[in-house]
Amino acid sequence: MSYIEAKEKYALLGVDTDKAIEILKTVPISLHCWQGDDVIGFDNDGGLTGGIQTTGNYIGRARTPDELMSDMDKVISLTPGKLKLNLHASYAIFDGDFADRNKLEPKHFTKWVQFAKERNMGIDFNPTFFSHSMVKDNLTLSSPDETVRQFWVEHGKCCLKIAEYFANETGIPCVMNIWIPDGYKDVPADRFGPRERFKKSLDEILSISYDKSKVFVCLESKVFGIGMESYTVGSAEFCMNYVANKGITPLMDNGHYHPTEMVSDKISSMLLFNNKIALHITRGVRWDSDHVVILDDETKEIAKEIVRADALDRVFIATDYFDASINRISAWVTGIRSVQKALLYAMLEPSKAMKEMQNSNDLHRLWSCTRSLKQCPSVMYGKNI
Ligand code: RNT
Ligand code: ZN
């Protein structure tokens, strides 16, 4: 079917396809740098820790900043629409002038700023609380060892300054996401203490002044990690309460919930109580939270919830997955394009008519319309709905 034919069919449903494409072009997707090198970064000798894992040994892992940047350029060339760059602190570029995570400065990211500016991209940022010798007994910001806890508080503070530097340099707000891997493999004797220390650490990080219109600090929750199956300090309840209390931004990663819990169902509730929300779009498969995104039902449903709530400008959308078993560039591109396709698919829904069906309790009609839209525009449900 040609685009003209499809456009005419959608017009019968009251959907303007040209407009949908124009809007899609303006929605930034934050491109996670860590798919290119299996989440290793440039500040350590390899060895990913923190309850996350890449499996596979496909050739071509980016080993240097230049390799990662040129792989990203390939991704950009294969991806339409607007992108933002999403960096982890472990991707600092030192050029012989090494600084540990508690001593990071904006100058360690000048090359990334140049890269982003040349491509008209904003930059999002993540402190890296894993793959480091100061992660003690699987704990960072919640550690009972004051030296360890302080080290990571300093790291958080350094990152906040770097995030503000990114926003100032690019002129685009920076989303800075905090995720810690802290947890226990087996049932702990004290669930309260680590969470109390995590709360104190976050308060300390956020005590430095920063421009809240330029830096959006997010907190990402998680249900479990590998080796932290029984308890994670940054649970959903902890993060949701902390965020609400402090007026920062919640981040939901759809790989971080029980498999029967759907992030698509959470979005409306979160939007009602937060100005902005952030998402890590991924694909959970059994124990793994980070398979490459595909155009599956949940990805489409997440996109529909954003579009139906008219919240494209209130949701920070980022990808977050890592697969080392297939060509990394193709993994990257497939995931990002799948998010974009899901958004386009959502924008092609005759949402107003469907909400009316729901509100008039015409649920069978709604049900058949939903089924038939799956094959639209090839197969249409009647002339119009
Ligand atoms: C881990 C979290 C986190 C990381 C990245 C690398 O479970 O999803 O977002 O994937 O920060
Ligand atoms: Zn994530």
In the prediction, which pLDDT does 47 show? 87
Which tokens belong to 51? 């309850």
Residue recorded with tokens 């800075």? 176
In the prediction, which pLDDT does 180 show? 98
Is the minimum distance from the CB of 163 to ligand 1 under 6 angstroms? no
Active site residue 291: no
In the prediction, which pLDDT does 379 show? 73
Which tokens belong to 234? 């940054």
Task: Report which protein residue has its CA nearest ligand 1's atom 2.
Answer: 179
In the prediction, which pLDDT does 367 show? 94
What integer is the mean pLDDT of 116-122? 98
Residue of 280, 287, 288, 292 to test ligand 1 pocket, by largest number of atoms within 8 Å of CB: 280
Task: Judge contact between 348 and 18, C-beta under 8 A.
Answer: no
What integer is the mean pLDDT of 234-259? 98
Mind listing the pLDDT tens digit for each residue in 37-83?
A: 999 999 988 789 999 999 999 999 999 999 999 999 999 999 999 99
Determine which of 281-290, 297-306, 370-379 has the lowest per-residue pLDDT on average.
Answer: 370-379
Distances (CA, A) of 235 to 167, 198, 267: 29, 11, 17
Q: Is the pLDDT of residue 384 over 90?
A: no
Task: Judge contact between 40 and 309, C-beta under 8 A.
Answer: no
Q: Which ligand is nearest to the CA of 319?
A: 2
In the prediction, which pLDDT does 382 show? 57
| Rounded Cα–Cα distance for residues 104 and 206 (Å) | 17
What integer is the mean pLDDT of 263-281? 98
Distances (CA, A) of 154 to 89, 106, 148, 340, 367: 13, 14, 10, 37, 53
Single-letter amino acid code for the residue at 152: W
Is the minimum distance from the CB of 320 to ligand 1 under 6 angstroms? yes
Number of alpha helices (DSSP H) and beta strands (DSSP E) in the chain: 12, 12
| Rounded Cα–Cα distance for residues 274 and 244 (Å) | 8
Q: How far, in Å, is the centroid of ligand 2 from the Cα of 354?
A: 32
Q: How far, in Å, is the centroid of ligand 1 from the Cα of 226?
A: 12
Mind listing the pLDDT tens digit for each residue in 163-202?
A: 999 999 999 999 999 999 999 999 999 999 999 999 999 9
| Angle made by CA atoms 323, 327, 330, in degrees to the nearest 5 | 90
